[in-house]
Amino acid sequence: MTATVPPTPSDPPIPDPAGRVELPPGTTLTDSRFVNDDLLPVPLARRRWTTYNFTALWVGMAHNIPSWLLASGLVALGMDWKQAVFTIALANVIVLAPMLLTGHAGPKYGIPFPVLARASFGLRGANLPALIRAGVACAWFGIQTWIGGQGIFVLLGKLFGGWAEASEVGGQPWTLWVCFVLFWALELAIIHRGMETLRRFENWAAPFVIVGALVLLVWIANKAGGLGPLLDQPSKLGWGADFWPVFFPSLMGMIAFWSTLSLNIPDFTRFGAGQRAQVWGQTLGLPTTMTLFALLSVFVTSGSQAVYGAPVWDPVALAGKTDNVFGLLFALVTVLVATISVNIAANVVSPAYDLANLAPRLISFRTGALITGVVGVLIMPWKLTETPELYIFTWLGLVGGLLGTVAGILIADYWIVRRTALDLPGLYTPGGRYWYTSGWNLRAVAAFLVGGVLAVGGSHSAPGKGPFPEDGLIPFLEPLADYGWAVGLAASLVVYVALMAGHRRA
């Protein structure tokens, strides 16, 4: 089929005062191998997300149970609360940079992440980073859904009693599985209604979740008569030789927590009213919210130690200690809203677009969302969060290395090689500017392989603490494993720019 009726020289892409670009008049995109309604550029008239919309998106995504548990995981590894909060704050300032760089293409061209990846990887090659991102998102969707289902299970069990004593299926009470499935179905029902529904949901979910977290803080502080002794607990690592071997892999893990969004943020910024909206919205929403949420989790946990004699890091378990029915219902709704808010935005939108990019004629955005939901269950998410070592070092470390490698290529191509100038029709045109070698840019694949091997080749685990050999998969790369995200991003960026030198630009 004919992919595109290309514009004539007299019909250039249509810019507007904000620098945004639409397809030229009369352009027809018809090749169903690379085009469907969800992958086409968003028209200028529909790019109307404001600074508040992007800030609310991040507030809604950052306020969730796994974010709350990040500080607890670092404290469990030996840090004190100040070191944990510092690590989280620094990681989110760092990851904001690639977030803004890749997000730039969204408001300018109205394209999602897998279409942006076609400029660097090729029309077919873009499926490589898209499927990596989709696989990670499916796993995160499963993790968040499992945690949300656990929250419902704990709080409903407190309200009605007897849930925890139900007969077991697959090592868990059958009532827990019911909560998990119901929560899973609720998430997919919301995303089925589309991105505009998500925008409206995030707008009211963000302030609601903040209020819920503050209510938890006031409640525990009131019971404790002030915040407890946890804030005075010294670090088990100090700031010397014992601290840095834990700090750097932990920093990479914290960066990896949102490195997923640093790739597919164009899926959201493509609806932006302009660059100012996405830059200020993300800057106000991401690092500030994550840091304040980490502080909030530490303060609440401190109060729990004063009240119960031991720190209760899980906010669901802590809320479950109240006997007030209204308090339990409020906590239940807060857990539902917080988890749905992050899970749909962070872990369903991206793979839905990524899978649509794989087979546009067969997979729509909604079909991709359903596939994400099924795969998220099949990966058995309850296994990935069993220990802090497995969660932070193995899962987040491995994910961060691979996603950092893809981010390096996207940033290098869009900012250094092409200077933000893309041939918009060419992103959908087989045989065109981004066709390369049968749809694959082998230079990008080579850069990905080099960066990926350097980033994760040295992955290692302490004895009995993970799936990797103690001296690393590739022993001489073991020293690089603690810096996987940074190594992958820097290596792939440098290699890609070098390989693309002399190749004609868009």
Listing DSSP states for 218-272 in one string gives: HHHHHHHTS--GGGGPPPSSTTSTTTHHHHHHHHHHHHHHHHHHHHHTHHHHTTB
What CA–CA distance (Å, rounded) separates 152 from 169?
18
Per-residue tokens: 392 = 């932070």
The model's confidence at residue 449, banded by pLDDT at 50, 70 and 90, is very high
Which residue has tokens 């609440």? Answer: 300
Burial of 76 (0-12, 13-18, 19+ CB in 10 A): middle
pLDDT of residue 196: 63
Q: Are 57 and 195 within 8 A, CB to CB?
A: no
Taking the C-alpha atoms of residue 353 and residue 357, their distance in angstroms, rounded to an integer, is 6
Rounded Cα–Cα distance for residues 36 and 27 (Å):
14
Classify residue 9 by burial, with Cβ atoms within 10 Å: 0-12, 13-18, 19+.
exposed
Q: Which has more pLDDT, 312 or 291?
A: 291
Residue 79's SS3 state is coil
Cβ-proximal residues to 195 (8 Å cutoff; 6+ apart), any chain:
271, 349
7-21, 200-214, 386-400: least confidently modelled range: 7-21
**pLDDT score of 233:** 66
pLDDT at residue 257, rounded to an integer: 77
Instruction: Using alpha carbons, list the distances in angstroms from residue 205 to 288, 334, 340, 365.
Output: 17, 9, 9, 23
E strand map for 13-61: 14-15, 21-22, 28-29
Query: Going by DSSP bridges, is the β-strand pair 28-29/4-5 parallel, antiparallel, or unpaired?
Result: antiparallel
Inter-residue contact 450 to 496 (CB < 8 Å): no
> What residue has token string 């029915």?
325
447 compared with 16, residue with greater pLDDT: 447
The answer to whether residues 47 and 271 touch, using CB atoms and an 8 Å cutoff, is yes
| Average pLDDT of the residues in 140-169 | 79
C-alpha dihedral over 342, 378, 403, 188, to 10 degrees?
A: -30
**pTM (whole model) above 0.95:** no
Tokens representing residue 197 in the block: 């529904």
DSSP summary character for residue 418: S
**What DSSP state is assigned to residue 167?**
P
Name 15's bridge partners: 21
Average pLDDT over residues 471-484: 81
